[in-house]
Structure 1
């Protein structure tokens, strides 16, 4: 097939410029994407590797939920507390639920502590359960990141803590001053895959408060959940992160009227350049307000759309000498208000289906794919997505609209004879004209 016109590595020239003008996000890095397709709507330093702190735990969540799905770990499985998990859990300066040295805890309870309260020792416990040690788990994290197509990342522990907080017990092969880093685009891609591959994570991530064990209450650090101090309508996830190195960071997601957006801010500040809990939520709110107010899903091309000038293709050896073609399904895309007119269809024909003369060979079945249509901005800009799969959301197959049976030998013979005499008549006519 001809080369794909729409690559997933480029921006639209329209929405990007307007978003950058309307949004002045105070953060070292930020990104705003469509939660269903991964379409990128705004970005700032999106490919810079920055600190992520406890947003690291999204990768631990992904690996755990995958292990649960595949039956390698059970929710009611019991964990016996290791020396490392116990030591970390007793550090009152870190986000933790205290673990008893002789205690046993269910994986589900540890998962909830991690997802709701960002409990670090509980996260280490999960890593040890899955991989035997946090050292082994860190390798799994980096391998999974590569598998998910992430770039500009490095995981050195399962929690997002500064390695120095491990007090010499950090994962083997990592230095005491090492930090987890990811780019905003990779953080968004991880969040996108997490909530789409394991949507059940949002039920836990959206829990405002929960009791771990009697006397240990866990309050969610995502203060944008609707019932909390910076409540935002539709907010149901996903993960905060705060360290001196990473600053105040947050991966948020909210859904209204069926439309979901994902945001990432790393090292967020206020207008005066000061970081803080409020700053990261204010900058997130800024992006979400812009998205919900200015974007909506629109039908760009309807089902059975026919491209002007390409409504039929020629057919060889068929009962008909041409076949009608149209799109198999509509193309819908999230668009900035008033932006629909700025896009045009691009028809990409599958040349492997054609003869040397550029025709389709009969027989042809109705619904048979002959190419595809994708969208291109009229100014030549491209649409950007987090994943190659997302890019396919703005393309549709072009198929045959009818059956074309192969002509029998008699019809083909008569066509040949007709062609012969047509050519002969043309030759005689030319000769006669030459006499005069």
Structure 2
């Protein structure tokens, strides 16, 4: 706080005379203000645009916040505008905020961006190169959702490479819709761990499906990697017009037509509670598609939703379970009736149920999937990403074998 003059300035700024007269305020005191994460970084670097979803993480034992910063322009030559406010955007800056001290650091992760390089020369000392970013922070980077939304909008039109098709707009795509909290809405991109086509390992990606314009079937999906070694790499998968793949709204229609699920939802809605249908997730698995939708129940008194059921579908049938492993067991035929799985601890301890090595083909069942899923979540909570990825690969092997055995 310094001495009297500086304290007078702070007292005037915050309209608080205690800053001047309180004995608790000493020359060593520090004033922490602008504590909202986005407001804090915006005051320091107002020339950047920021992603609307800052996220917290732990690095070296400290709670940190990360905000994605984008350089933008409206004057890039021969570039189409997105809306009315930009025709150039790059995710060149990552800003971190220490949740305790408020210390802010800006890192330039795209040194080839001319705007970011110019800002770094205009404001020397404000930006740090990506090489100075600690590994504990780099491991938590993820691709910004707001930027990906813009890119998916543009790709829905510019995926057409044939000039005549593009000119006539014969193959326009759109973003699918889903039912969320009883209302139709556009499917938002979501983060998921998945194995990309042609790769062995599991990648952490931001994912979105596409449908033809004004239609509900799914024609393609787009994913962008958030892994450190492949950050920003995009993968597009086109199903082709000769294949009919159900989109989210078509699966929502199948769910609505299921008599068992309809009875359950009607009963819950009549009991003084509110049923919340969560986001319908599309998950590609080895050339096929798995659809997952959680069901939440919120009492009118508390309005705190609780996960009650999980609905899954492979496009041909719909099943419901008390959790994801239970629903998958019903979908693959291991459990014929709805309700809770009858797996016992003795079943889990048998060979082939989630061991560290290869999965025994004779023991492939939802029991193995259940055990692998639980163990993977334990590894994830413990921060063991390598162990989590290994168990995820084993889980995918089990699910593939179960699908092949149908």
User: Which one has the largest radius of gyration?
Assistant: 1
Q: Same fold (TM over 0.5)?
A: no
Please classify the TM superposition score into its range, dividing by the shorter chain length. under 0.3
| TM-score, normalising length: structure 2 | 0.28
User: TM-score with structure 1 length normalisation?
Assistant: 0.27
Q: Which has the higher contact order (CA 8 A, sep 6+)?
A: 1
